[in-house]
A and B are shown apart, each in its own frame.
Chain A
């Protein structure tokens, strides 16, 4: 990882061709938790600040470039949430029938909204966002072959990134906390195991399809009870070596988007299959206005059933996405997740709007209802929250 970073860095600063450009954003976030804490060390409300600058440098037209995106979060209470990451430090080159990327970067695979089963290249930056949408930069060499019959991406992934977890003071965490210091690896090479992945992606008319395989250290740890150096009970993350095959597919027809993601994973306890399938239908120009209303329905299943650590082992997601199509790009998304086995519910609201040319305000609220003790969602039962973020883009 270090060698890759140094190689890319030297390219970034030594190359004498035209100067690149900086952009990025600075954001302030406020979170409020109305319910009593599960652990007396936890906070009731919290401020947090983020800086994410972005440097982009194009060489030789637009077919070769370098991107550098450092990320810094400073959190009022949670020292694990205060963190630095290199989201991207990537050199890339594209030719007529291939592309090569070397460095640290992010790759997204998949089509569904409620969860991202197939997406596996990057580790989740869980302290950053509890929905798992934020990712840590992953060191990689990615070679893509571009052919008439689709694109095949080969990945060599040296340097494992551990999932981030909140410390005792943090909210939206397991109780007890996860002690990342004690992480256990199945591979004798630990974090230095080189993971590999391959993916074929193609577009055939109304269908977009991807088929992938990953072999390496699971991004998702098993959490096993243990004790920390102070003798307190903690969860210890166990990172197993897994094989995972994934299929993602979307059929786009009229206002309908039909989506499917499914995986087959072995090496992490019992071999299992999981899937998310559903649709999104959009009503354009709602009531003769400029607004669009998207209705989402997804069902997630994991054949380990209640033995699954997943929040989506037998869950229905219903959502509504309202896009205003106005000057301010106002949009709102409301989602309800209902667990058919545990009968628990999770509510999720996200909305954002731009003010002027460079200020963006986002609000987010999550609430958890009727979670029985056996439900993995139960860990969040006290952590309903409201969040507001003010970001300045430059």
Chain B
């Protein structure tokens, strides 16, 4: 009912004069973030993941990332594991979708086996880290609903503060508070609230650089889990855009021979 009244009010207002609701503004910001970070076609990067427990003990992983932009649907992601050595050659392929569940396959090199896996593992940890599958998967506009909260300066950067609500099933979050840099249109900080709406994690981005004259990417992403005292730092390198990858580089045949 509220919605209908609101809709009527909007209709009655002279065009261009109606005030943008926080939801509309939040969505507009998310769309602008997506728009400014589109048309890269494909990208590749290398990532070192440093996991730290509450005692400060560290362990690391090394992975390579490949992404393919898909028109009108979610992106395709291929992740190749280089370290630790016992999982070297393991590869993870994901087709993200806005409306239907994602498709995911895992390749186990010792068995030469490609396994289709469930995509319900959204909130599960990625490689034992503080990043979950939903954090590392491609962020599609349609996967969330939005609300603009305020403007705020964070880490010395003028930012929009948006609240994102996952609209897909099996998320580990009720909401995320996202600080978006007004210049880069990329996140500076994200706070994740768990299913009980308690602060779970904070992700901070650092060392943004511009690539291919357009795309801003961070050198460092650090996720701190406030509930278990653990943290995970991602150190990114070797960002490349428009490298000529095609659908074929993201099929199950490729998974078996990518290494």
Residues of A within 8 A of B (CB): 23, 25, 56, 58, 62, 65, 92, 94, 96-97, 99, 106-108, 111, 133, 144, 146, 151, 201, 203, 205, 208, 250, 252, 254-257, 282, 284-285, 290, 292, 325-329, 354, 356-358, 360, 391, 393-394
Kindly report which residue of chain A lies nearest to residue B104, judged by CB atoms: A252
Which one of B28-36, B78-86, B135-143, B204-212 is at the A interface? B78-86
Question: Which residues, 52 to 96 on B, are CB-close (under 8 Å) to A?
Answer: 53, 59-60, 83-88
Docked Cα-Cα span, A201 to B114, in Å, equals: 12
Q: Any chain A CB within 8 A of the CB of B258?
A: yes
Option from B85, B101, B124, B246 in Cβ contact (under 8 Å) with A284: B124
Residues of B within 8 A of A151 (CB): 252-253
Asked if residues B120 and A254 are in contact (CB atoms below 8 Å), the reply is yes
Q: Any chain A CB within 8 A of the CB of B99?
A: no
Q: Which of B86, B101, B121, B259 has most chain A Cβ within 10 Å?
A: B86
Asked if residues A96 and B248 are in contact (CB atoms below 8 Å), the reply is yes
| Interchain Cβ contacts under 8 Å between A and B, 12 examples | A108-B111, A111-B116, A133-B111, A146-B251, A151-B253, A201-B252, A255-B120, A257-B117, A326-B128, A327-B59, A357-B59, A358-B86
CB distance from A22 to the nearest CB of B (A): 11
CB distance from B80 to the nearest CB of A (A): 10
Q: Any chain A CB within 8 A of the CB of B172?
A: yes
Option from A107, A208, A393 in Cβ contact (under 8 Å) with B84: A393
Question: Which residues, 115 to 134 on B, are CB-close (under 8 Å) to A?
Answer: 115-118, 120-125, 128
Pairs A-B, 7 closest by C-beta atoms: A393-B85, A327-B128, A108-B112, A393-B86, A108-B113, A325-B125, A255-B120
Kindly report which residue of chain B lies nearest to residue A201, judged by CB atoms: B252
Residues of B within 8 A of A133 (CB): 111
Known: A58-B259, A282-B118, A357-B83. 11 other contacts (CB 8 A): A23-B88, A25-B86, A92-B257, A111-B115, A252-B118, A325-B124, A327-B51, A327-B59, A328-B128, A329-B86, A329-B87
Kindly report which residue of chain A lies nearest to residue B108, judged by CB atoms: A108
Asked if residues A357 and B116 are in contact (CB atoms below 8 Å), the reply is no
Asked if residues B118 and A99 are in contact (CB atoms below 8 Å), the reply is no
Kindly report which residue of chain A lies nearest to residue B122, judged by CB atoms: A284
Across the A-B interface, how many residue pairs have beta carbons closer than 8 Å? 101
Kindly report which residue of chain B lies nearest to residue A207, judged by CB atoms: B116
Residues of A within 8 A of B101 (CB): 254
CB distance from B70 to the nearest CB of A (A): 15
Docked Cα-Cα span, A357 to B124, in Å, equals: 22
Asked if residues A358 and B85 are in contact (CB atoms below 8 Å), the reply is yes
Option from A255, A358, A393 in Cβ contact (under 8 Å) with B118: A255
Asked if residues B124 and A146 are in contact (CB atoms below 8 Å), the reply is no
Kindly report which residue of chain A lies nearest to residue B118, judged by CB atoms: A255
Residues of B within 8 A of A252 (CB): 103, 116-118
Asked if residues B120 and A282 are in contact (CB atoms below 8 Å), the reply is yes
Q: Any chain A CB within 8 A of the CB of B168?
A: no
Asked if residues B116 and A285 are in contact (CB atoms below 8 Å), the reply is no
Residues of A within 8 A of B254 (CB): 94
Asked if residues B85 and A65 are in contact (CB atoms below 8 Å), the reply is no
CB distance from B252 to the nearest CB of A (A): 7
Residues of B within 8 A of A354 (CB): 84, 86
Docked Cα-Cα span, A51 to B197, in Å, equals: 51
Residues of B within 8 A of A290 (CB): 124-125
Residues of A within 8 A of B170 (CB): 284
Asked if residues B253 and A146 are in contact (CB atoms below 8 Å), the reply is yes
Docked Cα-Cα span, A360 to B111, in Å, equals: 17
